[in-house]
């Protein structure tokens, strides 16, 4: 098997299942994704149709005559909203626009437009490299036309992602706010005092479950949600039988005429709450797969929800007095009967687990942001051997819990939370539509007219909902808007600062021959640039090396007559002087921390400038986490030898997301000795040196100190220094890139300071 075939096998791909395994995953999605869109609080709000009329304002007879067509129109608006947005837009279209790794959400759409460059081992070279390597693949073809829109699209995608993250707080807060009053509207102050402790206790319990992982949580929650949706559907069928004419709601003209007749644009804000949670289907794509989500929604959740809404509308037409509390008063049988209490218990349970959809989705979205260097690195725990997308982020989990508790206590009523939540959902809907519209021609390579048609149709629908929710900003929607803007500002700032740091790494990458020379430098005898050659990758079944004729000649000249003596090497200084480097019998492992992965890392140069002693064995190590849980021990290392300098190697460590990231030197040693045995004329001294040095190995990790460069407008220089040095620089110390690596090597690890002027 070739190296490319192996790399393809280790790459993360969307999970593909079939048969009972696929059905099992589809069942699991019920407890995670649809716990929000199927929770009863949406119905408790949307059943107030039209909101401008109350049962106490007019007598039941007049209400029946006045509201019958309005009820059908309102239910029609809900049914068609469920059909066009969750079913058609998200299930049919959006799920096709996930990343190559199977991730979804607004930021995933941006990642498909501007994918992060992941250099392969063939591109990495310690002695030579070309500037063409720094060009990302998205700069070619159709995607090249979007180069000037990179930052505007990034900010727009981040804004949508930030509002989705706000949903993670608002969903829990809204559901717990309703729980505090037990679903009743009377005496909210008394309810708040009585149920405050219960709400906080449940929040702690819910977030305390998250370390178990998505699959285990779904094992408990999926049966509850499945039973809850089945009860909704059965109740809906019972009520529809009493008034089958409610099926007229599937006529879209009923919804249009309802808006024309009532003239109330605010009604859309109530209809919007019937589809809250639909964005979770796309955000949680990485936790499951598109086939499972489609089966569970189209085959189960959607028909159950439609039946429930149609049933409520039919019962409301038959008995207008149930407007006081449509959900509970439309349950078959007497109030307080057996079925009533069964529905009540499952309604409470569904309310409690409703926030799980956005909690899991938040983990996936933050994982995407961290992967694109748009957020500080956090410790990520993979909770499934089957699906790499099922993750848990501890720090984020507890921050969400604290934020939810603060929001529950800060908002005086659940209605204000509902208004805030509706605005966040409407904005995310519109952001997703715009990014999919761009992706249709530029990622899927379909005609531009299809992208325009998608934007005009779904953008019109999303714009209607967004306009209605925008009017609620003074009433509570200001919270997600403000929180989203703050998160957007921070993520954009981090992306900008991290981009400067990556540019510094890329622009300052040096060839090894420009740092270490074979002869001293002086003004009378300037150094002639040595002939250098590309390194060759070696895997466990591909240990042969090939190189150019010039490289053969150079190696022969450099080693002729010196089989038992290593010629002295010199460190080239920026001033043009050179310093002799004393070789010491140890092994130094320099861990790479740069995105370009070209040339030699800054930590190596900084080390030599401070301590002009060259280890006999030098390894430049790159750690790559691949898309499988475990990589076999005999296939973890890819070794590259530097032919022009003895004892220098480039190594890539491939680890699964459940493997330890600590390199095993006893496993690596046979790779090094094998490559020397096949490539060196006299391998015995080198192999002996490798065997001896492996017991004296020291790990070197770069520790960056960022310094703001001084240029441009003086006030901006001052502001820039605060942003780069005081905020970003200090945060980089708190959140280093090596969060989960090298835990077992603290005693033999040295942090090398690197000054980065960005």
Q: What is the pLDDT of residues 412-466, one digit of tens each?
A: 555 666 667 788 889 999 999 999 999 999 999 999 999 999 999 999 999 999 9
Split at pLDDT 50, 70, 90, the class of 567 is: low
In this predicted structure, the answer to whether residue 361 has a pLDDT above a threshold of 60 is yes
State how far the Cα of 570 lies from the Cα of 581, in Å rounded to an integer: 5
Integer Cα distance of 570 and 561 in angstroms: 20
The yes-or-no verdict on residue 491 having pLDDT over 90 is yes
The pLDDT of residue 400 is above 70: yes
Give the C-alpha separation, 699 to 705, whole Å: 19
pLDDT the model gives residue 61: 41
Q: Residue 547 has which token pair?
A: 């190189």
**Sequence-separated (6 or more) residues with CB below 8 Å from residue 690:** 587, 617, 669, 672, 673, 676
What Cα–Cα distance (Å) separates residue 690 from each residue in 206, 282, 319? 53, 51, 87
Q: How far is CA 563 from the centre of its chain?
A: 53
Report how far apart, in Å, the C-alpha atoms of 425 and of each of 31, 175, 294, 462, 477 are: 20, 15, 21, 10, 11
Arithmetic mean of pLDDT, 119-142: 47
Domains in the chain, start-ordered, CATH in brackets?
Answer: 17-116+170-499 (1.20.1740), 511-757 (no CATH)
For residues 260 and 556, give the distance between their C-alpha atoms in angstroms, rounded to a whole number: 88
Number of H helices, E strands in the chain: 27, 11
- The pLDDT of 397-413, averaged and rounded, is 78
DSSP letter for each residue of 19-79: HHHHHHHHHHHHHHTHHHHTSHHHHHHHTS-STT--TTTS-HHHHHHHHHHHHHHHHHHHH
- Asked if residue 134 has pLDDT above 50, the reply is no
Averaged over 605-610, what is the pLDDT? Answer: 86
Q: Which of 572, 545, 548 is nearest to 679 (CA)?
A: 545
Q: Is the pLDDT of residue 495 over 90?
A: yes
Separation CA 185–CA 325 (nearest Å): 10
Task: Give the pLDDT of residue 519.
Answer: 67
Q: Is the Cα dihedral 732, 735, 741, 743 positive or negative?
A: positive
DSSP 541: T
Phi, psi of 496 (to 5 degrees): -65, -50
User: Is residue 450 a contact partner of residue 391, using CB atoms and an 8 Å limit?
Assistant: no
Q: What is the pLDDT of residues 569-581, one digit of tens each?
A: 888 876 667 888 8
Q: 131 pLDDT band (50/70/90 cuts)?
A: very low
Instruction: Give the model's pLDDT for residue 132.
Output: 35
pLDDT on residue 439:
95
- d(Cα 549, Cα 416) in Å, to the nearest integer? 76
- Read off the DSSP letter of residue 725: I
Over the stretch 645-686, which tens digit does the pLDDT of each residue have?
Answer: 888 998 988 888 888 888 888 889 998 998 888 877 778 888
CA distance 230 to 224: 10
DSSP 650: E
pLDDT digits (tens, 9 = 90+) for 331-343: 998 888 889 899 9
Contacts of the segment 16-22: beta carbons below 8 A, 24+ positions apart: 16/289, 16/291, 17/289, 17/291, 17/292, 22/291, 22/292, 22/295
pLDDT surpassing 70 at residue 749 = yes
What is the predicted pLDDT for the residue at 566? 57
Asked if pLDDT for residue 20 goes beyond 50, the answer is yes
Query: What's the pLDDT score for residue 186?
Result: 41
Contacts of 21 (CB under 8 A, 6+ apart): none
Q: Quick count: other Cβ atoms within 10 Å of Cβ 257? A: 16
Cis before 417 (ω within 30): no
Q: Is the alpha carbon torsion for 65, 71, 73, 76 positive or negative?
A: negative
In the chain, pLDDT over 70 holds for what percent of residues?
Answer: 78
pLDDT digits (tens, 9 = 90+) for 24-82: 999 999 988 887 776 644 444 444 443 333 333 334 443 444 478 889 999 999 999 99
Q: Are 754 and 602 in contact (CB under 8 A)?
A: yes
DSSP 186-221: S-HHHHHHHHHHHHHHHHHHHHHHGGG-HHHHHHHH
Say if residues 385 and 658 touch (Cβ distance below 8 Å): yes
| Helix 356-371 × helix 150-180 angle, to 10° | 160
Report which DSSP code applies to 681: S
Contact in structure between 272 and 465 (CB atoms under 8 Å): yes
What is the pTM (predicted TM-score) of this model? Answer: 0.84
Residue 231, pLDDT > 80, answer yes
Tell me the pLDDT tens digit for each residue of 151-202.
999 999 999 999 988 877 777 666 655 554 444 444 444 444 555 677 778 8
What angle, rounded to 10 degrees, do the helices at 60-82 and 302-318 form?
170
CB atoms within 10 A of CB 135: 11
In angstroms, the CA 353 to CA 223 distance is 12
User: What are the helix (H) ranges across 334-413?
Assistant: 338-352, 356-371, 394-410
Q: What percent of the chain has pLDDT over 90?
A: 32
What is the chain's length? 758
Q: Looking at residues 579-603, what average pLDDT do you find?
A: 81
What is the band of 315 on the pLDDT scale with cuts at 50, 70, 90? very high
Token couple for 419: 């208004």
* Average pLDDT score over residue span 136-151: 69
Mean pLDDT for the stretch of residues 106-130: 68
């Amino acid at each position: 098997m070739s190296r490319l075939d192996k790399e393809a096998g280790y790459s993360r791909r969307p999970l593909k299942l079939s048969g009972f395994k696929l059905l099992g995953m589809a069942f699991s999605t019920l407890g995670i994704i649809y716990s929000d869109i199927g929770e009863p609080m949406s119905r408790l709000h949307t059943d107030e149709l039209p909101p401008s009329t109350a049962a106490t304002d007019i007598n039941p007879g007049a209400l029946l005559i006045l509201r019958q067509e309005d009820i059908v129109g309102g239910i029609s608006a809900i049914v068609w909203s469920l059909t066009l947005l969750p079913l058609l837009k998200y299930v049919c279209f959006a799920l096709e626009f996930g990343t190559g790794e199977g991730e979804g959400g607004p930021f995933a759409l941006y990642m498909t437009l501007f994918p992060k460059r992941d250099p392969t081992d063939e591109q990495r070279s310690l002695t030579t490299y070309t500037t063409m390597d720094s060009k990302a693949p998205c700069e070619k073809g159709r995607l090249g036309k979007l180069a000037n829109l990179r930052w505007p699209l990034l900010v727009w995608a981040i804004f949508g992602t930030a509002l989705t993250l706000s949903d993670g707080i608002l969903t829990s807060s809204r559901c717990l706010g309703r729980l505090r009053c037990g679903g009743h509207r009377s005496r909210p102050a008394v309810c708040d005092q009585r149920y405050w402790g219960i709400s906080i206790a449940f929040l702690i319990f819910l977030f305390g479950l998250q370390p178990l992982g998505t699959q285990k949580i779904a094992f408990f929650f999926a049966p509850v949600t499945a039973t809850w949706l089945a009860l909704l559907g059965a109740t809906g069928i019972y009520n529809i039988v009493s008034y089958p004419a409610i099926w007229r709601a599937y006529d879209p003209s009923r919804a249009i005429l309802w808006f024309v007749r009532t003239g109330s644009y605010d009604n859309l804000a109530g209809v919007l709450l019937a589809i809250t949670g639909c964005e979770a289907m796309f955000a949680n794509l990485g936790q499951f797969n598109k086939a499972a989500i489609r089966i569970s929604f189209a085959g189960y959740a959607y028909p159950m929800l439609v039946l429930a809404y149609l049933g409520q509308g039919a019962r409301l037409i038959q008995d207008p007095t149930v407007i006081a509390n449509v959900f509970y008063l439309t349950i078959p049988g007497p109030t307080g009967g057996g079925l009533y209490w069964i529905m009540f218990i499952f309604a409470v349970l569904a309310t409690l687990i409703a926030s799980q959809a956005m909690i899991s989705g938040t983990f996936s979205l933050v994982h995407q942001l961290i992967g694109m260097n748009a957020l500080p690195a956090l410790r990520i725990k993979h909770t499934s051997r089957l699906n790499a997308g099922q993750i848990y982020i501890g720090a984020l989990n507890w921050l969400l819990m604290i934020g939810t508790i603060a929001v529950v206590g800060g908002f005086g009523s659940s209605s204000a939370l509902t208004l805030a939540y509706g605005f966040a959902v409407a904005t995310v809907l519109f952001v997703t539509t715009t990014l999919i519209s761009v992706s249709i021609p530029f990622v899927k390579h379909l005609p531009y007219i299809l992208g325009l048609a998608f934007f005009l149709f779904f953008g019109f629908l999303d714009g209607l909902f967004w306009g209605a929710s925008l009017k609620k900003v003074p009433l509570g929607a200001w919270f997600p808007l403000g929180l989203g803007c703050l998160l957007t500002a921070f993520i954009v700032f981090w992306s900008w600062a991290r981009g400067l740091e990556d540019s510094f790494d890329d622009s300052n990458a040096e060839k090894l021959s420009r740092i270490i020379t074979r002869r001293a430098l002086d003004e009378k005898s300037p150094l002639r640039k040595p002939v250098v050659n590309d390194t060759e990758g070696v895997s466990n079944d591909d240990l042969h090396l090939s190189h150019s004729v010039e490289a053969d000649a150079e190696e022969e000249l450099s080693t002729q007559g010196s089989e038992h003596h290593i010629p002295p090497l010199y460190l080239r200084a920026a001033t043009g002087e050179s310093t002799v480097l004393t070789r010491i019998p140890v092994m130094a492992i320099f861990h790479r921390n740069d995105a370009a992965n070209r040339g030699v890392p800054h930590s190596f140069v900084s080390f030599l400038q401070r301590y002009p002693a060259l280890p006999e064995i030098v390894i430049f190590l790159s750690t790559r986490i691949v898309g499988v849980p475990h990589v076999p021990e005999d296939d973890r290392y890819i070794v590259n030898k530097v032919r022009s300098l003895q004892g220098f190697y480039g190594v890539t460590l491939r680890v699964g997301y459940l493997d330890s990231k600590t390199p095993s030197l006893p496993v690596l040693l046979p790779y090094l000795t094998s490559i020397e045995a096949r490539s060196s004329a006299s391998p015995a001294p080198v192999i002996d040196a490798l065997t001896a040095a492996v017991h004296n190995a020291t790990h070197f990790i770069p520790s960056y100190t960022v310094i703001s460069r001084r240029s441009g407008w003086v006030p901006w220089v001052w502001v820039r220094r605060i942003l780069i040095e005081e905020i970003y620089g200090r945060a980089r110390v708190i959140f280093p890139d090596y969060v989960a690596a090298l835990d077992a090597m603290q005693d033999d690890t040295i942090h090398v300071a690197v000054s980065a002027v960005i």
